[in-house]
Amino acid sequence: MRITAPGRLVITRESVEERLGREWETHEFQLAIVSYFGHIKEWDDDEIVIAWDH
């Protein structure tokens, strides 16, 4: 599965937990990704933001 978004892509803990129906740590994202393209701007407890900051 491939996801693309123009400019900015945000993955929030809340929305993943909602869909999974269980608790989810953003670090767990690493078990799921195969490859990515872009710049990881933020990665904290609540969200992962892929975007350029300029």
Whether 16 contacts 24, CB under 8 Å: yes
Cα–Cα distance between 14 and 34 in angstroms, integer?
22
The stretches of the chain forming alpha helices (DSSP H) are 13-20, 29-32
- Number of residues in contact with other proteins under rule CB under 8 A: 20
Residue from the set 19, 22, 23, 37 that interacts with other proteins by CB under 8 A? 37
| 33 is an interface residue for other proteins by CB under 8 A | yes
| 36 is an interface residue for other proteins by CB under 8 A | yes
Residues near other proteins (CB under 8 A) are 27-28, 30-45, 52, 54
